[in-house]
Amino acid sequence: MVDKKLPFTKEQIERIIEKYPTPFHIYDEKGIRENAKRLKKAFSWNDGFKEYFAVKATPNPYILKLLKEEGFGADCSSMAELILSEKVGIVGENIMFTSNETPEYEYVKAKQLGAIINLDDITHIDFVDKVCGLPELICFRYNPGPLKGGNAIIGKPEEAKYGFTKEQLFEGYKICKERGVKRFGLHTMVASNELDPEYFVDTVNMLLDVAHEITNEVGIKFEFINMGGGIGIPYRPEQNPVDLEYVGNKIKDLFDKKVKGTKLDPLKLYMENGRMITGPYGYLVTKAIHKKDIYKKYIGVDASMANLMRPGMYGAYHHITVLGKENEPKDMVYDVVGSLCENNDKFAIDRNLPEIERGDIIVIHDAGAHGHAMGFNYNGKLRSAELLLKEDGGVELIRRAETIDDLFATLDFSRL
């Protein structure tokens, strides 16, 4: 069970709203830092362990800078993400560039930054070689197909567009070795928002077995394996978070058994979580502006699916707190909805909540990853501000809200 507490009070949020109107996303710096430290400690037994934060989860330079201070790198998959990382000083092998269907200029930029290039397909070896030359260090993304089950979000690996088959791994590493590549890594990513701790232990076990096979047949030395991300968070109060200490200890046992004293020794362990790093420490703050009572009871808020896509896109659950009414009985059943001209623009369906009145402040939990990042401008909706709740209780604006001028900036009205 998870206690869905808030890092701020109603009075704090009311003061913030006076300066920054709703809706907005707000992130808890203290929570993010403590979570980062806990992850690092759970895997501190591995000399060289590194978390490459998945920039796509929360692509804000202030968040990246915060995580850089905690020793994290950046997992990037686009030009914009590479540039964001560069601007906060995350460069070189502190960047893992894992993309797919990648244009030439992105590979060029990744190599210029000295990033670890993680190829998604065997044909990309020739593609990169011709575009900018193969780097000294190369990594491949492994898609185990039916050998490893996926989960509800990422789907079956054999139906995913990502990665090399096992046979292609052997061929690819042979090609790279022949072309002068000296350093090697192995990567996989086969689940998203997974809460079963054994899933990650099994993933590392699979990678170690494959790394041994390739090492023996191809004659290369792996510097690292990247177990990917996918560690989930308990969106529902009745769910339990992944026990990081348990996962760390179980993977340590695997390294003691399958790495220590073998050709893989020493071997660094990398991962690339996004959601579990910032997800539980971000909140969408919105305000009730309408009540509607027809076949169902609706609460209309000033946020919409444009601010948080997950409930409408995936039917995902996000916990809701009505500030000031935390201890009131949840004896009303509402759909909490936004104003898009789409019927899936709903933050909650048939949710038991306390009675809500116009003007009530509503906080939507676990919006710190894949929240603002997935925003869009359909219906001309403007993307909201992002705020950082500092450890000292102060608030910093880390992204201003969009304006109509921003929305129309790429249009030329003069030729009408």
Among 379, 322, 377, which Cα is nearest to 354's?
Answer: 322
Question: CA 30 to CA 48: how far, in whole Å?
Answer: 25
Question: Within a 10 A sphere around the Cβ of 226, how many other Cβ atoms?
Answer: 26
Check residue 127 and give its pLDDT: 97
CA distance 73 to 169: 25
Residue 202, C-beta contacts closer than 8 angstroms, at least 6 positions apart:
148
**Same domain as 328, residue 300:** yes
Question: What pLDDT, on the 0 to 100 scale, is given for residue 179?
Answer: 97
Is residue 163 in some structural domain? yes
Residues 327 and 224 in one domain: no
Active site (catalytic) residues: 341
- DSSP characters over 308-356: --HHHHH-----EEETT-TTS---EEEEEE--SSSTT-EEEEEEEE---
The confidence score (pLDDT) of residue 148 equals: 53
H-type helices in 97-196, by residue range?
A: 104-112, 124-131, 166-178
pLDDT at 145 (0 to 100): 85
Secondary structure of 239-275 as H, E, C letters: CCCCCHHHHHHHHHHHHHHHCCCCCCCCCEEEECCCH
Residue 167 belongs to a domain with what CATH number?
3.20.20.10
The 8-class DSSP code of residue 231 comes to B
How big is the chain by its Cα radius of gyration, in Å? 23
Q: Which of 217, 241, 273 is the last residue of a domain?
A: 273
Cα gap 193→75, rounded to integer Å: 17
Residues 106 and 229 in one domain: yes
- Residue 156 — φ and ψ, nearest 5°? -70, 130
CB 340 within 8 A of CB 322: no
Residues 300 and 224 occupy one common structural domain: no
Number of structural domains found in the chain: 2
Residues 88, 64 contacting (CB under 8 angstroms): yes
Residues 78, 209 share a domain: yes
- Does residue 85 share a domain with residue 219? yes
Identify whether residues 233 and 256 lie together within a single domain.
Answer: yes
332-337/346-353 β-pairing: antiparallel
Burial category of 48 from C-beta neighbours within 10 Å (exposed 0-12, middle 13-18, buried 19 and up) = exposed
> Of 247, 273, 299, which marks where a domain is finished?
273
* 371 belongs to a structural domain: yes
Q: Which of 214, 247, 273 is the last residue of a domain?
A: 273
- What pLDDT does residue 191 have? 85
Domain containing 157: what range? 43-273
pLDDT of residue 1: 74
Which pLDDT score, from 0 to 100, does residue 160 have? 73
The CATH number of the domain holding residue 364 is 2.40.37.10
State the Cα–Cα distance between residues 8 and 6, nearest whole angstrom: 5
Predicted TM-score (pTM) of the model is 0.95
Q: Are 347 and 23 in contact (CB under 8 A)?
A: no
Same domain for 249 and 173, yes or no, is yes
Would you say residue 29 lies in a domain?
Answer: no
DSSP state of 94: G
Strands 73-76 and 116-119: unpaired
Cβ–Cβ contacts within 10 Å for residue 4, how many? 17
Largest Cα–Cα separation, the chain: 73
In this structure, the answer to whether residues 213 and 136 fall within a common structural domain is yes
Do 266 and 324 fall within a single domain?
no
DSSP annotation string for 13-50: HHHHHHHSPSSEEEEEHHHHHHHHHHHHHHTTTSTT-E
pLDDT (tens digit, 0 to 9) for every residue of the chain, 416 residues total?
788 999 999 999 999 999 999 999 999 999 999 999 999 999 999 999 999 999 999 999 999 999 999 999 999 999 999 999 999 999 999 999 999 999 999 999 999 999 999 999 999 999 999 999 999 999 999 999 866 555 554 556 767 778 999 999 999 999 999 999 999 999 999 888 999 999 999 999 999 999 999 999 999 999 999 999 999 999 999 999 999 999 999 999 999 999 999 999 999 999 999 999 999 999 999 999 999 999 999 999 999 999 999 999 999 999 999 999 999 999 999 999 999 999 999 999 999 999 999 999 999 999 999 999 999 999 999 999 999 999 999 999 999 999 999 999 999 999 99
Query: Is 290 in the same domain as 155?
Result: no
Residue with tokens 């968070």: 233
| Cα–Cα distance measured from residue 358 to residue 345, given in angstroms and rounded to the nearest whole number | 19
**Alpha-carbon gap, residue 39 to 277, rounded angstroms:** 9
How is residue 130 written in tokens? 């011709």
Please tell me whether residues 174 and 96 are part of one structural domain. yes
- State phi, psi for 120 to the nearest 5 degrees: -100, -15
